[in-house]
Amino acid sequence: MSSSDYAVFARGLEKRYGDKRALDGFDLTVEHGTVHGLLGPNGAGKTTAVRALATLIRLDGGRAEVGGADVAREARQVRSRIGLTGQYAAVDEILTGRQNLEMFGRLFHLGGTLAARRAQELLEQFDLEAAADKGAGGYSGGMRRRLDLAASMILAPSVLFLDEPTTGLDPRGRSEVWDSVRNLVTGGTTVLLTTQYLEEADRLASRITVIDQGRAIADDTPDGLKATVGGSHLEVVVAEAADLPAVEKAVARVARGATETVIAERRVQAAVTDRVAALTDVARTLQDEGIAVEDIGLRRPSLDDVFLQLTGDRPAQDRDADGAYATYEKTEAAA
C-alpha cells in the first residue's frame, strides 16, 4: 500500500516551541474507516499532533498526508476532508442545539434550507432531538460534547479528529459520547481520538498509538497492548498488616507472575488472567481463614501500567505534576 491509501500517514513529525520538542520524530498510520486511539499523558504531544494534521500549525519537519493530501502543500484539500473537535466545546450557550447547528451550517455556506435539513439529520444522529429546541446552556456535559461532535460533522468529513472528547465528563456523559463515536464509524468516518484513558482507547479503537514526549512508543491493537501490560490486577487491602503474609500466599496461587505487597497500605496485588475466578478464589480463601478484608477488587490496566511496561517509568507528566494523569478505575467485586 502507498501512503495515500491511509486516512492518516505521518512520518518523522517535528514541532518545536523554543527548546521544547512537542513532536520529536512522531510517526502515525491510520487506516480508513477505523477509530484510531492516540493515547498519552498530559503534555505528550497529542494536541500538537492533531493540530499539525489539521493544518492549524506548521510543522518544523517530517511529512504527513491526511486523506491522501499533503498537510503542507495541499492544506486546502486536507481542510475540506477533516473535522476537528477540541477539548473544549465550542457551542454557544444562548442558542438552542438546533440553532447552533444551523449557525455552523451557514458558516460553512450551506444556505438556510440546507443548513436546517443538515441540523435535523445531525440532531437525530447524535440523539439530541428531545433537547433540540432547548438552550444549549442547560445541556449536560455529555449533551454539549455530542452537540460539539455534531457541529464538526456538518460537512460530513471523511476524517474526524477528536481531541480528548470525554475529558471532564461524568461516566454517563462519557458513555454517551462513546456511543456517538461508534455511530460515526458505522457511517464510514475515520476517527483519530486522543485520550489519556487506556479504557477509552480500548473500548473504541481498533488500534492504539501510545505517545510520550513527542514520539510514538507503541503501536498495537488494544489486545496486544493489554497483553504487554499483563491484563487485570487483583488487589486486596486487609485491616491488619499481620495478615499480609497469608494474603500474599492466597494471591500467589492465582497470580500470573509475582505478587507485590505495599506494607504501608496493607495491600497485596498481582496480575491475573481469569479475573472473576481469581477474585472468587481469593475472597473465599481469606474468608475461610478468618482474615478481615477491607477492600478487594479487580483493577483494569491503566495508562500508568502501560507506561511502566513500555518505558519502565510513569507517564512523563506524572513525574512533575501530581494528580494530572488518568487514575485507574476500580471494578468492585460486585460488578
Ligand X SMILES: Nc1ncnc2c1ncn2[C@@H]1O[C@H](COP(=O)(O)OP(=O)(O)O)[C@@H](O)[C@H]1O
Give the interface with ligand X as residue ranges (CB under 6 A): 17, 20, 22, 40, 42-48
Query: Smallest distance, Å, CB 209 to Mg ion?
Result: 15
CA distance 161 to 73: 20
Nearer to Mg ion, 259 or 317 (CB): 317
94 sits in which H/E element: none
Cβ contacts of 23 within 8 Å, gap of 6 or more: 13, 14, 15, 45, 48, 49, 52, 59, 62, 214
Neighbouring CB atoms inside 10 A of 309's CB total 14
230 within 8 A of 305, measured Cβ to Cβ:
yes
Q: Binding partner of residue 45 among Mg ion, ligand X, none, CB under 5 to 8 Å per kind?
A: ligand X
CB of 329 to ligand X, least distance (A): 21
Q: Which does 55 bind (CB under 5 to 8 A by kind): ligand X, Mg ion, none?
A: none
Closer CB to Mg ion, 10 or 122, in the complex: 10
Closer by beta carbon to ligand X, 19 or else 288: 19
C-alpha distances (whole Å) from 167 to each of 42, 163, 199 are 11, 9, 13
Report the interface residues with Mg ion, using CB under 5 A.
46-47
* Beta carbon of residue 193, minimum distance to ligand X (angstroms, whole number): 13
Alpha helices in the chain (DSSP H): 46-53, 75-81, 97-107, 112-125, 141-152, 171-186, 198-204, 222-229, 244-252, 275-288, 303-311, 316-320
Residue entry with cell 479504557:
199
What is the spatial distance between Cα 202 and Cα 196, in angstroms, rounded to a whole number?
11
Pick one of ligand X, Mg ion, none as the site partner of residue 174 (Cβ within 5 to 8 A by kind). none
The nearest distance, CB 21 to ligand X, in angstroms, is: 8
Closer by beta carbon to Mg ion, 47 or else 232: 47
Q: Which of ligand X, Mg ion, none is residue 48 near (CB under 5 to 8 Å by kind)?
A: ligand X
Contact yes or no for 238/292 (Cβ under 8 A)? yes
Kindly tell me which of 17 and 88 has the beta carbon lying closer to ligand X: 17
Residue type, 14: E
Smallest gap from residue 201 Cβ to ligand X (A): 14
Q: Which is nearer to ligand X, 40 or 173 (CB)?
A: 40
If contact means CB under 5 to 8 A according to the sort of partner, which of ligand X, Mg ion, none does residue 301 touch?
A: none
- Partner whose binding site includes residue 43, from ligand X, Mg ion, none (CB under 5 to 8 Å by kind): ligand X
44 binds, among Mg ion, ligand X, none (CB under 5 to 8 A by kind): ligand X
What residues pair up with 30 in beta bridges, in sequence order? 8
Q: How far is the CB of 224 from ligand X (least distance, A)?
A: 22
Question: All 3 cell numbers of residue 119?
Answer: 441540523
Q: Residue 23 Cβ, how far from ligand X at the closest point, in Å?
A: 8
